[in-house]
A and B are shown apart, each in its own frame.
Chain A
Amino acid sequence: MSLPTYATFGQRVWYYTFRFICALIFIFLITPILVVLPLSFNAEDFFTFTPEMLRLDPEGYSLKHYRDFWNNNEWQRSFKNSLIIAPIATVISVSLGTLAAIGLSQSHVPFRRAIMAILISPMIVPLIISATGMFFFYSQVGNFLEGTLGFNKNFVGYVKVVLAHAVLGIPFVIITVTATLVGFDRSLTRAAANMGADPVTTFFKVQMPLILPGVISGGLFAFITSFDEVVVVLFVGSASQKTLPWQMFTGLREQISPTILAVATILVVISIALLTTVELLRRRSERLRGIRPS
């Protein structure tokens, strides 16, 4: 990859031009995210850098947008909603998804391809179509739960959104867990059974610790899918289930306030934390399965 000493002038020019082009593309990828971070500390209510900020004057910076996020009821309520909905949806998709992934990775599964296609479809079908379908379906389900079974309206609202988000997270769990199971050594479970362990013990003591990294990273994908999802919740939920992305979406469309940038910064920090976790888990999983981490 490095330039050989005998390279001609033309090759040298191309080598550096190419690196320059790549650098520009990397800048294109990362700049929008980097721009948001400093702007969220803006002392003014602007979406752009003020002269004070460019002079690095401490006067130009403040935490007021973060304070606004913490003190504003709308933002707090939507943040809480996100923290309620995403974990529950994740638990549902991870528990059902892991079981199914284990089933799918058995050696003889009838209709394996068709089942796989159905389970992955929530990832493939455009969100707007899933949202449209769920909008019709869940309004009927909601009417049934409220009218016939007499549940609380608010509770039913949460149930609808949680179920909708759980479905959206399932493909990610299936994909990551089946990928982990590809390298799984079946003789380990056989050995456990041989020594008298029942299937449940075998699962929790032998199989689960080995596939745990895959399960957790699938769970993180499912979590971020739900935490970041806005189209479906917009259609299925009602105002009392307003989540953080929904609040950001309305904020961007209507009353533009720089608080959005503070929230965006917090979300970027969360995604950096998640990204690091997934990467560490991936390495651990490869070590456990005896593959040298790349």
Chain B
Amino acid sequence: MSDAADTGPVLAADGTPLKRSLARALRVQKTRALLLIAPLLVFVLISFIMPIASMLFRSVENDIVRNTLPETVPLLAEWDATSGELPGEEVYAALARDMIVAVNAKEHTKLATRLNYEQTGIASMFRKSGRQIKKWDPVADAPFKDKFIELHEGWGELETWKTIQTHSSTYTSGYFLNAIDMQKTPEGIQAQPENKQILVKLFIRTLIMSLIIMGACILLGYPVAWILANLPANKANLLMILVLLPFWTSLLVRTSAWKVMLQQQGVINDVLVWIGLVDDANRLIMINNQFGTIVAMTHILLPFMILPMYSVMQTINPSYVRAAKSLGATNWTAFWRVYFPQSVPGIGAGSILVFILAIGYYITPEIVGGTKGVFISNRIAYHISSSLNWGLAAALGTILLAAVLILYWAYDKIVGIDNVKLG
């Protein structure tokens, strides 16, 4: 029976060549897997990836000037800003027509807010002028140049026109420049005035404080992970509860606990006064500064350091250290040359995890950080909900996101996304 099959291709039971039959089976399998994944993938793409992408887009988007002043912008583009002369009457007439439309649609205040980020004072000029412009007629009231200058002297200043011209492009790098304390001016890219330079400082502070928190977590986490990995299982499980309970407790609970502990009338100060270490009049100030943020965040992120370290240390074979000792190594050499190098992957995984979590933290710094201990995230939240400079918030968010993604990539290289474990 096998003689005939030797010459032709191998056939499956239904007579098709085996190769094709296998390929079809594989295709069916792949399709089934993708169909199972598809609903979730679509859901995450639409409700998570798309919002993030639209945020990225918002950080360069700048169509408000062009949309609000559709006639003025092309005419103004031909104006030579270096000539030292104001734009001609046709620009003013176009502006009048645009403004009448904008004021009636109440769009001019948005434009005013946008331009005010670039040149302080423009917003009030737009609002004041808006009330008068409403009454104008685009044909009967011409010419407009003197009328505008009469309304507000700002319309007769070169700076105003230069600002509008500079920021009338559909896409802008302005928000990103603002995010690193630079600004786009008619004369090119310049540093912000000294008193407005806070964001680079804030980025550096976020980095440094996250590094300190990461370092503190390594120092505190390493001994704990070691003792958990080396105790007998029943004792280790009991102590593990002390690590897992904070891990599972609500972030807000832990943050409020630290507020209770660190306040001037709080538990730690009370204890210190009671044992006489601190005078009642000079209670330590431990909250609303960097110290408060560092202590509270170290506590909150410590389980994220201990758990990866612990899982790596569990796999380290104790006989290596014993072998080193029996070959004459001191305790320290055995630890430093034999045990520690094997535990480095755990430190790496924990550190990156803690660092990623730390640089994006918002809640804890907001509550215990005061003004000195806040992070870049708090600034983003401020621009979203208070100053409403959404473009700048998006640019800051984009920079933060880029930093996190680079770290995430490193984490993937070192640990692997698939190896993320919980609890």
Contacts and interface: CB of A to CB of B under 8 A. Distances in A.
Interface of A: 1, 11, 14, 18-19, 21-22, 25-26, 28-33, 35-36, 39, 46-49, 96-97, 99-100, 102-104, 106-110, 113, 115-138, 163-164, 166-167, 170, 172, 175-176, 178-179, 221, 224, 227-228, 230-231, 235, 245, 248-249, 252-253, 260-261, 264, 267-268, 271-272, 274-275, 278, 282, 294
B55 A120 contact: no
B91 to A, nearest CB: 33
B253 A119 contact: no
B249 A129 contact: no
A176 B242 CA distance: 22
B404 A125 contact: yes
Contact of A248 (B48, B252, B400): B252
Given A33-B253, A49-B267, A109 B37 contact: yes
B124 interface: no
Contacts of A166: 43, 47
A1 B232 contact: yes
Nearest to A278: B423
A128 B39 contact: no
Given A21-B223, A28-B220, A271-B245, A264 B252 contact: yes
B371 interface: no
Nearest 5 A-B pairs (CB), nearest first? A126-B360, A103-B36, A137-B51, A32-B257, A133-B51
**Is chain A's binding surface mostly helix, strand, loop or mixed?**
helix
A100 B53 CA distance: 23
Interface residues on B, range: 35 or more
B55 A133 contact: yes
B257 A228 contact: no
Given A49-B270, A96-B39, A104-B33, A261 B360 contact: no
Nearest to B270: A48
Interface stretch (B9-17, B151-159, B361-369): B361-369
28 contacts: A14-B331, A21-B223, A26-B239, A29-B224, A39-B260, A99-B39, A103-B34, A116-B417, A118-B44, A118-B49, A119-B40, A120-B417, A120-B420, A121-B49, A123-B420, A124-B356, A124-B408, A125-B52, A125-B401, A128-B377, A129-B380, A134-B48, A137-B51, A224-B248, A228-B251, A235-B385, A248-B252, A260-B256
B165 interface: no
Interface stretch (B136-144, B177-185, B341-349, B389-397): B389-397
B258 to A, nearest CB: 6
B35 interface: yes
A25 B223 contact: yes
A137 to B, nearest CB: 3
A213 to B, nearest CB: 13
B419 to A, nearest CB: 10
Contact of B252 (A129, A252, A294): A252
